[in-house]
Structure 1
């Protein structure tokens, strides 16, 4: 399916939707309006690529409006590696905006998805004339770097690490810490790719968390019962023996 392209017709309504993201809501109104001024809405079918690794960046930023996007790549043996699973209203694409280099991951619509796409040239020209707002773009990237540091070398058995990852996903990887989502629409296969393990191992770890009353599993959904208890479990490493890294 070729993406449809529509200019957002109701600026105030779109701003209200985008305010759900904590980075966007913290930006000055001038930057918010610059982001949507030349932006287009693109519709993608499930499995369709927004862009591929190595492609020249035509857009400065993207924001998930409806649906979900997988940022992924393939390992040397061809095994898919899922970096992150993005739901509304998460912004991404900032690395290529900052360094001007090609995309470093594939961005794939996981379900039928609507994306707000900010074109590169007019937005970078606006930033160059309003350089103080480059700091806001840097904040967007730094927020993601902070999350990355939290998951690199995570300690504990798989069920501990999975509990932390689910907690981070509930908060949109830092984009909605004030209004976390207690229902995640993600498959066991995607969790396995994200955690670098097998679906069978994820199934066992989820069963462990479900047995503890922390989650309830559905079809491609995971309901989180209590975020504080989930995080407490992720940090409760002293009750285990040697960490199971499977």
Structure 2
């Protein structure tokens, strides 16, 4: 674990996240006061499924983290792909249970780690802020409900998922990113599809002028048109 980060510069970075920016200043300071930066190389685990929760929350400061698990046949399943400045780990903070899923650095990354003991003690002394933790989890639950049972053909569902990724799965609704760093393989795992099918769906969306593909990257051309396509389910 690295040395404590510079608090003032860190606060400026974290305010890019809509949940964090909406929190009261005393909660923001409580989050970063005892925090440490963890540097992970690509492929390193932030934590593994079933590990006891030693940290209350995590936030991607640089790089990206993927949440994955293995299916019954041993093939990987990618649940979500998190970029700066997305917070995670809130489930174990709330219920005290071990972490669920593997959190793996996809590229060399810096992860902010909030100590469990000091932060939960502070929350117990300032219980009104548990509501803010509940907001963090509820925002994720809303996104999960959008993803479960997504209607439409693969290219419709992929358009919707790319729109969600652009908005940080709800963490940057007012400041979306048009440049996504994600591979076709990761998209296939996330969508429960094959790389070949994802390639065809991306080619279709590119042909409609909705995106431009690069190496492990996708540039979205127009988010409004993208979500309109996702919701246009009348035909293939």
**TM-score of the two chains, using structure 1 as the length reference:** 0.95
Q: How far 1:8 moved relative to its partner?
A: 1.1
Match of 1:35 among 27, 31, 37: 31
Q: How far 1:118 moved relative to its partner?
A: 0.2
Q: 1:244: which partner in 2?
A: none
The 2-side partners of 1:31 and 1:223 are apart by 35
The 2-side partners of 1:163 and 1:105 are apart by 25
The 1-side partners of 2:49 and 2:74 are apart by 14
1:7 and 2:4 are equivalent in the alignment: yes
How does 1:175-214 map onto structure 2 within 5 Å? 175-214=171-210
Q: How far 1:239 moved relative to its partner?
A: 2.5
The 1-side partners of 2:103 and 2:88 are apart by 10
Q: Could you list the runs of 4 or more consecutive aligned residues of structure 1 that deviate by over 6 angstroms after TM superposition?
A: none
3-state SS in 2 of match to 1:5: coil
The 2-side partners of 1:81 and 1:98 are apart by 25
User: Structure 1 unaligned runs (5+)?
Assistant: 241-246
The 2-side partners of 1:229 and 1:110 are apart by 29
1:16 and 2:19 are equivalent in the alignment: no
Q: 2:70: which partner in 1?
A: 74
3-state SS in 1 of match to 2:56: strand
Q: 1:243: which partner in 2?
A: none
The 2-side partners of 1:104 and 1:239 are apart by 38
Q: How far 1:5 moved relative to its partner?
A: 1.3
How does 1:61-210 map onto structure 2 within 5 Å? 61-210=57-206
3-state SS in 1 of match to 2:134: helix
User: Structure 2 unaligned runs (5+)?
Assistant: none
1:139-174 residue CA offsets vs partner (Å, 9 max, x unmatched): 000000000000100000000000000000000000
The 2-side partners of 1:82 and 1:150 are apart by 17
Q: How far 1:13 moved relative to its partner?
A: 1.2
The 1-side partners of 2:33 and 2:128 are apart by 18
The 2-side partners of 1:6 and 1:147 are apart by 34
Q: How far 1:75 moved relative to its partner?
A: 1.0
3-state SS in 2 of match to 1:72: strand
The 2-side partners of 1:210 and 1:124 are apart by 47
The 2-side partners of 1:27 and 1:94 are apart by 15
